[in-house]
Amino acid sequence: MRPYHFPFYSDLIILNYIADPRWWLLFLSIFLPWVIWWIFADKNRLYELLIYGMLWAVIATWLDLIGTSNGLWEYPYNLYNKVPTLLPADLSVIPVMFMLLYQYLSNWKKFLLGSVLVSSLLSFVLEPLFIKFSMLNLINWTHFKSLFSFVILALLTKSIMSGLEKLKSF
Protein backbone atom coordinates (compact mmCIF):
# COMPACT_ATOMS: atom_id res chain seq x y z
CA MET A 1 0.00 0.00 0.00
CA ARG A 2 1.39 3.40 -1.01
CA PRO A 3 1.13 6.26 1.48
CA TYR A 4 -1.10 9.10 0.37
CA HIS A 5 0.78 12.28 -0.49
CA PHE A 6 -0.96 15.63 -0.43
CA PRO A 7 -0.56 17.71 -3.54
CA PHE A 8 2.07 20.43 -3.43
CA TYR A 9 -0.44 23.25 -2.92
CA SER A 10 -1.82 21.52 0.22
CA ASP A 11 1.69 21.39 1.65
CA LEU A 12 2.06 25.11 1.02
CA ILE A 13 -1.25 25.87 2.72
CA ILE A 14 -0.29 23.81 5.77
CA LEU A 15 3.14 25.45 5.94
CA ASN A 16 1.59 28.92 5.63
CA TYR A 17 -0.65 28.22 8.59
CA ILE A 18 2.09 26.82 10.81
CA ALA A 19 4.51 29.56 9.80
CA ASP A 20 2.03 32.25 10.86
CA PRO A 21 2.62 33.57 14.43
CA ARG A 22 -1.15 33.84 14.88
CA TRP A 23 -1.43 30.06 14.52
CA TRP A 24 1.16 29.56 17.25
CA LEU A 25 -0.59 32.09 19.49
CA LEU A 26 -3.86 30.19 19.15
CA PHE A 27 -2.14 26.82 19.54
CA LEU A 28 -0.32 27.86 22.71
CA SER A 29 -3.47 29.46 24.10
CA ILE A 30 -5.03 26.00 24.24
CA PHE A 31 -2.46 24.64 26.70
CA LEU A 32 -0.74 27.56 28.43
CA PRO A 33 -3.80 28.81 30.38
CA TRP A 34 -4.35 25.32 31.80
CA VAL A 35 -0.71 25.07 32.89
CA ILE A 36 -1.01 28.44 34.62
CA TRP A 37 -4.30 27.37 36.19
CA TRP A 38 -2.77 24.14 37.50
CA ILE A 39 0.00 26.13 39.22
CA PHE A 40 -2.45 28.44 40.99
CA ALA A 41 -5.46 26.13 41.43
CA ASP A 42 -6.60 25.19 44.91
CA LYS A 43 -6.05 21.42 44.71
CA ASN A 44 -8.62 20.87 47.49
CA ARG A 45 -11.33 22.38 45.27
CA LEU A 46 -10.38 20.78 41.93
CA TYR A 47 -13.77 19.15 41.38
CA GLU A 48 -15.69 22.38 42.05
CA LEU A 49 -13.31 24.51 39.98
CA LEU A 50 -13.35 22.09 37.04
CA ILE A 51 -17.15 21.97 37.06
CA TYR A 52 -17.21 25.77 37.04
CA GLY A 53 -14.66 25.90 34.21
CA MET A 54 -16.42 23.28 32.11
CA LEU A 55 -19.70 25.15 32.59
CA TRP A 56 -17.98 28.28 31.27
CA ALA A 57 -16.44 26.36 28.36
CA VAL A 58 -19.78 24.87 27.29
CA ILE A 59 -21.62 28.18 27.52
CA ALA A 60 -18.83 30.15 25.79
CA THR A 61 -18.59 27.63 22.93
CA TRP A 62 -22.35 27.47 22.51
CA LEU A 63 -22.74 31.28 22.46
CA ASP A 64 -19.74 31.67 20.14
CA LEU A 65 -21.36 29.22 17.74
CA ILE A 66 -24.65 31.14 17.90
CA GLY A 67 -22.84 34.45 17.32
CA THR A 68 -20.84 33.22 14.34
CA SER A 69 -23.83 31.37 12.85
CA ASN A 70 -26.00 34.49 13.07
CA GLY A 71 -23.37 36.78 11.57
CA LEU A 72 -22.69 38.84 14.69
CA TRP A 73 -18.94 38.25 14.38
CA GLU A 74 -16.53 36.07 12.47
CA TYR A 75 -13.02 34.71 12.82
CA PRO A 76 -11.13 35.21 9.54
CA TYR A 77 -8.12 33.42 11.00
CA ASN A 78 -8.57 30.34 13.13
CA LEU A 79 -6.56 27.41 14.39
CA TYR A 80 -8.57 25.03 12.24
CA ASN A 81 -10.60 26.64 9.46
CA LYS A 82 -13.38 24.00 9.51
CA VAL A 83 -14.51 25.19 12.97
CA PRO A 84 -16.22 28.61 12.91
CA THR A 85 -15.65 29.39 16.59
CA LEU A 86 -12.48 30.38 18.38
CA LEU A 87 -12.04 27.21 20.43
CA PRO A 88 -8.80 28.23 22.20
CA ALA A 89 -10.64 31.18 23.73
CA ASP A 90 -13.84 29.25 24.41
CA LEU A 91 -12.19 26.18 25.93
CA SER A 92 -9.09 27.62 27.59
CA VAL A 93 -8.53 31.35 27.93
CA ILE A 94 -12.00 32.47 29.05
CA PRO A 95 -12.79 29.52 31.37
CA VAL A 96 -9.38 29.65 33.06
CA MET A 97 -9.56 33.41 33.67
CA PHE A 98 -12.97 33.07 35.27
CA MET A 99 -11.99 29.90 37.18
CA LEU A 100 -9.17 31.81 38.87
CA LEU A 101 -11.55 34.67 39.58
CA TYR A 102 -14.09 32.22 41.05
CA GLN A 103 -11.42 30.59 43.20
CA TYR A 104 -9.94 33.76 44.66
CA LEU A 105 -13.03 35.98 44.95
CA SER A 106 -15.75 34.02 46.71
CA ASN A 107 -17.53 37.13 48.05
CA TRP A 108 -20.27 38.23 45.62
CA LYS A 109 -19.33 41.92 45.71
CA LYS A 110 -15.65 41.23 45.02
CA PHE A 111 -16.60 38.64 42.40
CA LEU A 112 -18.75 41.21 40.58
CA LEU A 113 -15.92 43.76 40.61
CA GLY A 114 -13.43 41.12 39.43
CA SER A 115 -15.85 40.02 36.71
CA VAL A 116 -16.11 43.57 35.42
CA LEU A 117 -12.31 43.86 35.36
CA VAL A 118 -11.73 40.51 33.59
CA SER A 119 -14.61 41.22 31.18
CA SER A 120 -13.14 44.66 30.43
CA LEU A 121 -9.77 43.07 29.71
CA LEU A 122 -11.38 40.57 27.33
CA SER A 123 -13.66 43.13 25.66
CA PHE A 124 -11.49 46.24 25.44
CA VAL A 125 -7.95 44.82 25.23
CA LEU A 126 -7.99 41.31 23.76
CA GLU A 127 -10.85 41.79 21.28
CA PRO A 128 -9.27 44.94 19.75
CA LEU A 129 -5.92 43.10 19.50
CA PHE A 130 -7.62 40.23 17.70
CA ILE A 131 -9.25 42.72 15.34
CA LYS A 132 -5.90 44.43 14.72
CA PHE A 133 -4.28 41.09 13.82
CA SER A 134 -7.20 40.08 11.54
CA MET A 135 -8.33 37.29 13.83
CA LEU A 136 -11.77 38.76 14.64
CA ASN A 137 -14.33 40.84 12.75
CA LEU A 138 -17.21 42.34 14.67
CA ILE A 139 -20.08 42.51 12.19
CA ASN A 140 -23.17 43.29 14.22
CA TRP A 141 -21.59 43.34 17.68
CA THR A 142 -19.73 45.80 19.91
CA HIS A 143 -17.16 45.62 22.68
CA PHE A 144 -19.77 46.91 25.12
CA LYS A 145 -22.08 44.01 24.25
CA SER A 146 -19.17 41.66 24.94
CA LEU A 147 -18.51 43.34 28.28
CA PHE A 148 -22.14 43.05 29.29
CA SER A 149 -22.31 39.42 28.12
CA PHE A 150 -19.17 38.36 30.00
CA VAL A 151 -20.36 39.98 33.25
CA ILE A 152 -23.83 38.43 32.98
CA LEU A 153 -22.34 35.00 32.22
CA ALA A 154 -19.94 35.30 35.15
CA LEU A 155 -22.83 36.04 37.49
CA LEU A 156 -24.95 33.29 35.94
CA THR A 157 -22.24 30.65 36.29
CA LYS A 158 -21.52 31.68 39.89
CA SER A 159 -25.26 31.49 40.62
CA ILE A 160 -25.44 28.00 39.13
CA MET A 161 -22.49 26.90 41.26
CA SER A 162 -24.09 28.39 44.37
CA GLY A 163 -27.27 26.49 43.57
CA LEU A 164 -25.31 23.26 43.12
CA GLU A 165 -23.56 23.82 46.46
CA LYS A 166 -26.94 24.23 48.17
CA LEU A 167 -28.21 21.03 46.52
CA LYS A 168 -25.12 19.19 47.70
CA SER A 169 -25.87 20.07 51.32
CA PHE A 170 -29.34 18.44 51.22
Element of type H or E holding 138: strand 137-138
Write the DSSP assignment of 51-86 as a string of letters: HHHHHHHHHHHHHHHHHHHTTSEE-SS-SSTT--S-
Answer whether residue 9 is part of any domain: no
| Number of structural domains the chain divides into | 1
What whole-number distance in Å separates Cα of residue 102 and Cα of residue 91?
16
pLDDT tens digit string along 25-65? 999 999 999 999 999 999 999 999 999 999 999 999 999 99
Is 112 within a domain? yes
Residue 12 maps to a domain? no
| Domain extent for 150 | 21-168
**Residue 2: inside a domain:** no
> Do residues 44 and 103 touch, judged by C-beta distance below 8 A?
no
3 assigned to some structural domain: no
Summarize pLDDT for 57-95 with one digit per residue, the tens: 999 999 999 999 999 999 998 887 778 889 999 999 999
